[in-house]
Amino acid sequence: MTTYELHYFNAAGRGDMSRLLLDFAGASYKNVLVQNADWGTKKDTTPFGKVPVLVIKEADGSTKELAESAAIEAYLAEVLGLVPGSSPFERAEALSVVSAFLDLEDKLRTASTGTTSEERKTAHEKALAETIPMYLKYQERFVRGSYYFGDKVTYADLKLYQIALKLEEMYGDSSPLKTKAADFPKLTKIVETLAAGKAGDYTKNHRIIGVLKWFKDEWKWGFAA
């Protein structure tokens, strides 16, 4: 049996989606939490000087390493049966959904780069009123069945779920998936359905929040004391 190690900091961050995929699929995996104090020496042992890194341990004892969260997620989706179909086009379409959400995550990161909390508040309020609803509008339009690609859960659905978790962490009840739920009935249904099953179990029992927290009044992520 293939087993996995996900090497990442003690935080959700860019490790969250890979952990969700592994957990949801019932894969045998271990979280290897990199301590800040060890990062200086570990950095150079990783392919690109960053985490997450996925270590794949095959049944024959051989191991492989994969870096870059988007590559890890696409690989895990493939081997764990969470892609929509077998054609390259169907797989690329699922990646296009994920990629559009990565774009949104970049925008949210940028909103937190203002130097003062006032600047960040203004940027996030604009994101809440305009940017996030705009991204969600197109996502809603893309959904083709009970899930993005019909009746099968794929990593596109799980990416939406992970985004919903992030929006909730950052904005609580002000998340546009809550305030404008009526505008996004299909997305809302997917999130609710996943929350009621194994993805919800991941959130409640296995998700690592760790040291990185959203500081509501500061409108930015930071380390918990």
Ligand X SMILES: N[C@@H](CCC(=O)N[C@@H](CS)C(=O)NCC(=O)O)C(=O)O
Give contact residues for ligand X (rule: CB under 6 A). 13-14, 43, 50-52, 68-70
Kindly tell me which of 18 and 203 has the beta carbon lying closer to ligand X.
18
Kindly tell me which of 18 and 175 has the beta carbon lying closer to ligand X.
18
Q: How far is the CB of 112 from ligand X (least distance, A)?
A: 14
Kindly tell me which of 31 and 69 has the beta carbon lying closer to ligand X.
69
C-alpha 110/C-alpha 208 separation (Å) is 24
Kindly tell me which of 72 and 190 has the beta carbon lying closer to ligand X.
72
Half-sphere exposure of 170 (CA within 13 A, CB side): 27
Name all contacts of 179-184 with Cβ < 8 Å and 24+ positions apart. 180/133, 180/136, 183/133, 183/136, 183/137, 183/140, 184/136, 184/137, 184/139, 184/140
Q: What is the largest CA-CA distance in the chain?
A: 56
Half-sphere exposure of 201 (CA within 13 A, CB side): 8
Kindly tell me which of 50 and 216 has the beta carbon lying closer to ligand X.
50
C-alpha 154/C-alpha 6 separation (Å) is 20
Kindly tell me which of 44 and 60 has the beta carbon lying closer to ligand X.
44
Give the SS3 label for residue 62: coil
Q: How far is the CB of 111 from ligand X (least distance, A)?
A: 17
151-165 burial, b at 16+ Cβ within 10 Å, e below that, comes to eebbbbbbbbbbbbb
Q: How far is the CB of 151 from ligand X (least distance, A)?
A: 30
Q: How far is the CB of 70 from ligand X (least distance, A)?
A: 6
Q: How far is the CB of 35 from ligand X (least distance, A)?
A: 13
Give the SS3 label for residue 56: strand
Q: How far is the CB of 196 from ligand X (least distance, A)?
A: 29
